[in-house]
Amino acid sequence: MGEIIVQLPEPIITRLREQALKADVSLVELVSQRLMEGFDLAVCTEGQARRRVLKLLREHAGYMFRTGTPTFEANAFVWRVPVFPNLKRGKQEPVGEVHLKADTGEILTEPLAILEMSDKVAPLLDVERFDESFQKRIAELLNKNNNGELSPAERRLLENMVQKTQVKDRENIQRLIERLRLPKANREAALAALERASAVLENAADEPKEDVPRRINSSGYDIEISNK
């Protein structure tokens, strides 16, 4: 944060000290709060920028990332928040940045950029992916399933492939548990976040396509295999 030195009359300083004591905050904090209340800005501080970006990263990639110290770009009126791998051990380098507008809080970074950051982190986590031919084949079968066009043999093949994705998801989640920093409290929420991270990592190299079903969690694809 920046620093401004101001001079105020002694009576005002006395009143401010009394109010700060009553509110159980420092005099500097009280004056800072009063000044910021006069500006209609969504993201005023480094802490607010970090929390907003961390919430976005949790939603898209679980506990795969942590945030560094934000910097404020005055000309663009934008916060730049560095993103690091959230690993238990070793010194980590940033894998990208998330940008957001200070006045509105709007996230300027596209979701695809988070996938690209995930792609950089994947080798550090030893997450395994299916090869391109497997992903292409299961996408074809899923589309046929959605249209009710699966033959009995194709239905059995699809069920087998979905089971394989479930097994690999569980293995990948175990790797993430071993390598990522996770909160000791609320383990259920942490595991749910790991499922999101696992799905992101397995598909990080693939740009979203309208005709390819998306992964939603570690239990496989968002499907119901048709018996038509």
pLDDT in tens, 3-62: 888 888 899 999 999 999 999 999 988 888 888 787 878 998 899 999 999 999 988 888
User: If you average pLDDT over residues 92-97, what whole number do you get?
Assistant: 94
The encoded tokens of residue 21 equal: 């004591």
Burial of 110 (0-12, 13-18, 19+ CB in 10 A): exposed
Element (H, E) at 88: none
Long-range contacts of 1-5, Cβ-Cβ distance < 8 Å, separation of 24 or more? 1/45, 1/46
CA distances from 169 to 31, 165, 175 (A): 51, 6, 10
Q: What percent of the chain has pLDDT over 90?
A: 43
- The mean pLDDT value for 63-90 works out to 93
Where b means 16+ CB within 10 Å and e means fewer, 18-27 reads eebeeeeeee
The neighbour count for residue 151, using CB atoms within 10 Å, is: 9
Confidence band (pLDDT; 50, 70, 90) for 186? low
What pLDDT, on the 0 to 100 scale, is given for residue 222? Answer: 43
CATH-assigned architecture of domain 1-38:
Orthogonal Bundle (1.10)
What residue ranges do the domains of the chain occupy? Answer: 1-38, 46-110, 126-221
Total-model pTM? 0.67
